[in-house]
Amino acid sequence: MSGQAAFAAALLAADGQCPPGLRTWNGSAPEARFAVYRNNVIVGLVDALADSFPVTQALVGEDFFRTMAREFVRRSPPRSPVLAYYGEEFPGHIAGFAPAAGLPYLADVARLEYLRVLAWHAADADVITPARLATVAADADALAASHVAMHPSVFVLRSTHAVVSLWAAHQTDSVAKSLADIDPATTENALLCRDGLEVAIYRIDADTAALLEQLLAGSALGPAMDAVAQAALNFDPTAALALLLRASAISDIHPSRRDGQ
């Protein structure tokens, strides 16, 4: 192991040992100085997680969250200097964190918050104009064979828990009152999309979520709708597309797929 690798490993080691060969300029104890630096690194990474997962922290309290986050930091240090994206594996860590077992919805709330981070930092793109939509929709057969280009900030999350409601409750001035009306065991699905400088989170039904998944996977509009309709009893494709348009989730609709263009 190189000196740099040993230094990095010692920063996150649970035993707190100082890496060998460390020296200080004034002859003071390197162990004390390294301990301070080590603590600052861990605190900084935990703070980064707290910034990305504020609702997750609010649901369990700061002390619980920071304990859970410190364990994650030691197991999963950043692989990139861009801390805005740090925490991709944090929801999985929460799912396996024994003290959080009594909160089965917590991992999915964290997944929602991480997708919100990705949506916030996604590339800019145009949104389909009414004129463009009218042109494409004028030919029903061509429309069915078209591919929908989703905005880069669009993400969909399926959950067996009330993740959208739990997140939304923490955006109100009366969090406790809002939470009292929520059954966490309610199945909810989320659509995330950035409109301007704001990331909007919509609660969507399972059919709309399935349609989104088909479109994001590259399916043409007609086959995507047919696949959802075959598995659903009350699928309303017009309402689903109307929601996507209201959410500014569609960038364009192409007569044929344009991979790499």
Average of per-residue pLDDT across 86-101:
97
pTM, full prediction: 0.89
Quick one: CA torsion of 113, 116, 117, 121, rounded to 10 degrees?
Answer: 180
Please, which pLDDT band fits residue 260 given cuts at 50, 70 and 90?
very low
157 against 257, higher pLDDT: 157
What percentage of the chain exceeds 70 in pLDDT?
87
Q: Which helix (H) or strand (E) holds 71?
A: helix 62-75
Please, which pLDDT band fits residue 16 given cuts at 50, 70 and 90?
low
pLDDT, residue 3, reads 59
How far are the Cα atoms of 18, 103, 167, 216 from residue 108, in angstroms, in the given order? 37, 10, 10, 20
Chain segment 113-129, per-residue pLDDT in tens: 999 999 999 999 999 99
Average of per-residue pLDDT across 130-157:
93
Chain segment 184-199, per-residue pLDDT in tens: 999 999 999 998 889 9
Chain segment 232-258, per-residue pLDDT in tens: 878 999 999 999 999 999 999 997 644
pLDDT, residue 81, reads 86
How far are the Cα atoms of 108, 121, 247, 261 from residue 104, in angstroms, in the given order? 8, 28, 29, 42
Average pLDDT, the chain: 90
Give yes or no for a contact between 16 and 35, defined as CB atoms under 8 angstroms apart.
yes
Centroid of chain to Cα 27: 47
Give yes or no for a contact between 48 and 87, defined as CB atoms under 8 angstroms apart.
yes
Average of per-residue pLDDT across 75-93:
93
Please, which pLDDT band fits residue 63 given cuts at 50, 70 and 90?
very high
Residues in contact with 131: Cβ distance below 8 Å, sequence separation at least 6, in sequence order = none
Please, which pLDDT band fits residue 261 given cuts at 50, 70 and 90?
very low
Count CB-CB contacts under 10 A for residue 131: 8
Residue 175 pLDDT greater than 60, yes or no:
yes
Strand order in the sheet with 155-159: 155-159, 188-195, 198-204
Q: Angle 202-242-164 (CA atoms, 0-180°, nearest 5)?
A: 10
Please, which pLDDT band fits residue 36 given cuts at 50, 70 and 90?
confident
